[in-house]
């Protein structure tokens, strides 16, 4: 029996690069995409990411009686699942999570990049009271340098969340960001729909999508 504290985990879960997914990416990566299409198409990818993320969480047996008097030996989540979005871009994933898990709680972490140090500074967190015993879907569509993700994981750790219980849900990731997260938190799982080539000198992903938050919220 492997020791669960040391057993290897598959840390990076890249969605299958199907024609359908690549077609969705083609819509949102197009610089001329209308905002409505950007928002609606992103939501479709979020749904795929969340389905994959939820499938990574532990389940336990649960039997139910069907309307024809039979027993169905099914499953249910082994612990509550909550979302934690990293404001502001992570808020874009909340609606899909709410649609899929209407009873789940959604916390929030606000970090902002310090103009001088370029490092994320913690401003505020509002987290569910039972977060330490929950499975946490950390929501942020962009994993670029990894600085924000690392700061958010630190906040979760300070609230008692183990790395094993965090699944980071993100739309685009850079090799640099994945390496940065896994160097410090090798047991945090990352679910992403694309691994980009690299970061440019302004820390944008290449080929990328531009500024996700601006495009999603219409502030560009
Ligand atoms: N944040 C974004 O919105 N886009 C990037 O490419 C990198 C960080």
Asked if 91 and 97 touch (Cβ cutoff 8 Å), the reply is no
Looking from the CA of 38 toward its CB, the CA atoms found within 13 Å total: 19
The predicted structure's pLDDT at residue 115 = 67
Ligand 1 contact, 28 CB (< 6 A)? no
pLDDT at 107: 98
Alpha-carbon distance of 180 to 132, in angstroms, equals 24
Do β-strands 12-14 and 189-195 pair in parallel, antiparallel, or remain unpaired? Answer: parallel
User: Domain locations in the chain?
Assistant: 13-217
Q: What is the CA radius of gyration of the chain?
A: 18
State in Å: Cα 87 to ligand 1 middle: 13
Residues assigned a catalytic role:
113, 117, 211, 214
Mean pLDDT (whole number) for 98-108:
96
Of 208, 215, 213, 217, whose CA–CA distance to 113 is shortest? Answer: 213
- Ligand 1 binding pocket includes 180 (Cβ within 6 Å): no
d(C-alpha 207, C-alpha 217), whole Å:
21
Question: Is the beta carbon of 46 within 6 A of some atom in ligand 1?
Answer: no
Q: What is the pLDDT of residues 135-188, one digit of tens each?
A: 999 999 999 999 999 999 999 999 999 999 999 999 999 999 999 999 999 999
- Which residues 6+ apart lie within 8 Å of 194 measured at CB? 14, 17, 25, 171, 172, 173
State pLDDT tens for residues 18-62: 999 999 999 999 999 999 999 999 999 999 999 999 999 999 999
pLDDT at 101: 96
Q: Does residue 176 line the site of ligand 1, with CB under 6 A?
A: no
pTM of the predicted protein model: 0.93
Q: How far does the centroid of ligand 1 lie from the alpha carbon of residue 129, in Å?
A: 31
Sorting pLDDT into bands at 50, 70 and 90, what band is 113? Answer: confident
Mutate-to-test residue for ligand 1 from 208, 216, 220, highest number of ligand atoms within 8 A of CB: 208
pLDDT at 114 over 90: no
Q: Which residue has the higher pLDDT, 164 or 8?
A: 164
- Using the predicted structure, report yes or no on whether residue 4 has a pLDDT greater than 70: no
CATH number for 13-217: choose from 3.40.50.2020, 3.30.230.70, 3.40.605.10, 1.10.760.10.
Answer: 3.40.50.2020
Residue 192, H or E segment: strand 189-195
- The pair of structure tokens assigned to 29 is 């990566």
């Amino acid at each position: 029996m492997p020791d669960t504290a040391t057993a290897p985990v598959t840390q990076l879960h890249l969605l299958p690069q199907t024609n359908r997914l690549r077609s969705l990416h083609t819509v949102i990566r197009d610089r001329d995409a209308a905002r409505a299409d950007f928002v609606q198409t992103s939501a479709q990818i979020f749904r795929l990411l969340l389905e994959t993320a939820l499938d990574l969480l532990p389940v336990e047996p649960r039997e139910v009686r069907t309307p024809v008097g039979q027993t169905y030996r099914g499953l249910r989540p082994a612990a509550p699942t909550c979302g934690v979005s990293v404001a502001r871009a992570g808020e874009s994933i909340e609606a899909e999570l709410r649609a899929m898990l209407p009873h789940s709680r959604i916390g929030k972490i606000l970090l902002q990049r310090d103009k001088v140090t370029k490092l994320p500074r913690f401003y505020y967190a509002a987290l569910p009271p039972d977060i330490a015993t929950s499975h946490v879907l950390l929501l942020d569509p962009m994993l670029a340098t990894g600085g924000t993700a690392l700061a958010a994981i630190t906040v979760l750790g300070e609230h008692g969340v183990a790395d094993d219980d965090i699944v980071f849900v993100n739309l685009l990731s850079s090799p640099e960001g994945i390496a940065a997260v896994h160097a410090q938190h090798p047991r945090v799982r990352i679910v992403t729909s694309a691994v980009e080539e690299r970061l440019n000198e302004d820390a944008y992903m290449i080929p990328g999508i531009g500024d996700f938050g601006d495009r999603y919220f219409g502030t560009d």
